Amino acid sequence: MSLNLSVIGTGYLGVVHAAAMVQLGHTVVAVDVDEAKITQLSAGKAPIYEPGLPELLAAALATGRLTFTTDYGRAADAHVHFVCVGTPQRPGENAADLRYVDASFEELAKHLHGPTLVVGKSTVPVGTAQRLDEMLRAKAPGGPDVTLAWNPEFLREGFAVKDTLHPDRLVYGVEAGPRGERAKALLDEVYAATIADGTPVVVTDFATAELVKASANAFLATKISFINAMSEVCEAAGADVVSLAEAIGHDDRIGAKFLGAGIGFGGGCLPKDIRAFMARAGELGADQALTFLREVDAINMRRRSRMVDIAREQCDGSFIGKRVAVLGAAFKPDSDDIRDSPALSVAAQVRLQGAHVTVHDPQAMDNARSKWPDLSYADSALEALQGAHVVLHLTEWQEYRELDPKVAAEHVAQRRVVDGRNKLDVARWTAAGWTLRALGRPTALATG
């Protein structure tokens, strides 16, 4: 059955969700307060780099069933409203900033006149859904007929289209009783094609649904920081963290995913979500349960400092007067997202210590220039390498992994590379005369 849906917010989550819902057969009105973004989207131009999104967006617009607007009133007749706005970290605090979520719900509430379902997809502290449910009932003209559900997203940037159309699970947070049953029935209609493909559905209460997302991100962050903690031990012991990760990853209780040692995680989700989780646990009086996340966060930040230290060593102990090439600006490949980017954090620290830093990234150059204008930028990887005393590989784009070290050697002042992601072919680079250092790997591997 085709439904009329609205999507509130057209950021990383909202724009993908809106276009994907059209592919699933629905009609969608997407609402955002940013007029420039709405104009761009209406013209079929994606505001972010996400593989598969331009094609998905173009196909959705071609059906005539996707509309972008700044007017909440145009979404009033939707059967289901998805709220997909961001929850950044509060300035100077660990807690999540819920201003945008609250504002979206309050504005949407003014237009809810009949029986309807509002679905929160934003990542929020546990307890938020219950508070917003009470607000909707109190403020919406059709309050008693307005039902809330919480349906957290689990998107990976670079795979967001796939994760929306073919998720590994759907989670519904609903209240007990008839209202919750109606909410589940409607969500089942929204995701009918996905469910028919075999996607499991977990139905639970508001609080558990909110905690599912927080817990998943906390676990993933912990796994990344675990292998990076092992990287610290490997460096001290002269062991190889890449071999270690391979060995423990064969244990199916552990698994190989998220065991890539390097300069750590960044982006708009994991860092701020684990901090918000800690903050909310403290408010609930359960702060001791999540004290380990402080160390997870600390390990993650230490890897950036360690990267700077190794780069300085490769510059003979000082960055003064040295040229440093940085390959990567996005926090991960297949994205233009620079939020809390480890690569740019390292680049900025190196520059502050006296180096001339030149950055290249296949997709994130414009975003990086706007946020870090004091860094220098190159239009190609080889241009970034020109005259460099050390090359820092900080975002594992395929382009960099395939870079010919013999060709690269023709552009640098010194053949020294530090692999912050443990993805370069050590034998290939050392055979071309490079000294290669990597986090968590013995220096014996550095030269051929």
Condensed to tens digits (0 to 9), the pLDDT of residues 106-130 reads 999 999 988 899 999 999 999 999 9
84 is catalytic: no
**Closest of 307, 318, 301, 325 to residue 353, by C-alpha:** 318
Please give the pLDDT value at position 58: 97
* Over residues 303-320, mean pLDDT: 97
Regarding whether 107 and 49 lie in a shared domain, the answer is yes
Residue 448, pLDDT above cutoff 60 = no
Domain stop point among 188, 203, 218: 203
What are 348-375's pLDDT values in tens digits? Answer: 999 999 999 999 999 999 999 999 999 9
Average pLDDT, the chain: 95
Residue 142, pLDDT above cutoff 80 = no
Report yes or no: 197 and 109 within 8 Å, Cβ to Cβ: no
Q: Which domain holds residue 217?
A: 205-448
* Over residues 20-30, mean pLDDT: 97
Regarding whether 330 and 257 lie in a shared domain, the answer is yes
Residue in the structure block whose two tokens are 């740019």: 344
Report yes or no: 8 and 85 within 8 Å, Cβ to Cβ: yes
Residue in the structure block whose two tokens are 């050697």: 409
Regarding whether 370 and 227 lie in a shared domain, the answer is yes
What's the pLDDT band for 138 if we cut at 50, 70, 90? confident
Regarding whether 182 and 67 lie in a shared domain, the answer is yes
Q: DSSP for 123-145, please give it.
A: ---TTHHHHHHHHHHHHSTTGGG
Domain stop point among 159, 185, 203: 203
Residue 87, pLDDT above cutoff 70 = yes
Regarding whether 341 and 377 lie in a shared domain, the answer is yes
Please give the pLDDT value at position 415: 97
Residue 325, pLDDT above cutoff 70 = yes
Residue 161, pLDDT above cutoff 70 = yes
Residue 156, pLDDT above cutoff 70 = yes
What are 198-255's pLDDT values in tens digits? Answer: 999 999 999 999 999 999 999 999 999 999 999 999 999 999 999 999 999 999 999 9
CA–CA separation, 369 and 293 (whole Å): 32
Domain stop point among 165, 186, 203: 203
Query: Please, is 436 exposed, middle or buried when counting C-beta atoms within 10 Å of its C-beta (0-12, 13-18, 19+)?
Result: buried
Regarding whether 419 and 395 lie in a shared domain, the answer is yes
Phi, psi (deg, nearest 5) at residue 181: -65, -40
CA–CA separation, 361 and 28 (whole Å): 34
What's the pLDDT band for 257 if we cut at 50, 70, 90? very high
Instruction: Look at residue 122 and give its three-state secondary structure.
Output: coil
CA–CA separation, 269 and 224 (whole Å): 14
Please give the pLDDT value at position 124: 96
**Closest of 207, 126, 197 to residue 167, by C-alpha:** 197
Residue 447, pLDDT above cutoff 70 = no
Regarding whether 295 and 371 lie in a shared domain, the answer is yes
Regarding whether 226 and 197 lie in a shared domain, the answer is no
Regarding whether 183 and 215 lie in a shared domain, the answer is no
**Closest of 379, 381, 321, 373 to residue 350, by C-alpha:** 321
Instruction: Give the total number of structural domains in the chain.
Output: 2
Chain-centre distance for alpha carbon 3: 29
Regarding whether 270 and 336 lie in a shared domain, the answer is yes
What's the pLDDT band for 444 if we cut at 50, 70, 90? low
Regarding whether 296 and 222 lie in a shared domain, the answer is yes
Report yes or no: 124 and 306 within 8 Å, Cβ to Cβ: no
**Active-site choice (84, 234, 269, 315):** 269
What's the pLDDT band for 141 if we cut at 50, 70, 90? confident
Regarding whether 247 and 171 lie in a shared domain, the answer is no
Q: Taken in order 242, 245, 249, 255, is the CA torsion positive or negative?
A: negative
Instruction: Look at residue 416 and give its three-state secondary structure.
Output: strand
What CATH number does residue 384 fall under?
3.40.50.720
**442 Cβ contact partners less than 8 Å away, ≥ 6 residues apart:** 234, 238, 239, 240
**Closest of 191, 265, 129 to residue 3, by C-alpha:** 191
Share above pLDDT 90 across residues of the chain, in percent, rounded to a whole number: 95
* Over residues 323-350, mean pLDDT: 97
Side-chain-side CA neighbours of 403 within 13 Å: the count stands at: 27
What are 177-199's pLDDT values in tens digits? Answer: 999 999 999 999 999 999 999 99
Residue in the structure block whose two tokens are 């090359």: 391
Residue 241 structure tokens? 């963290």
Length of the chain: 448
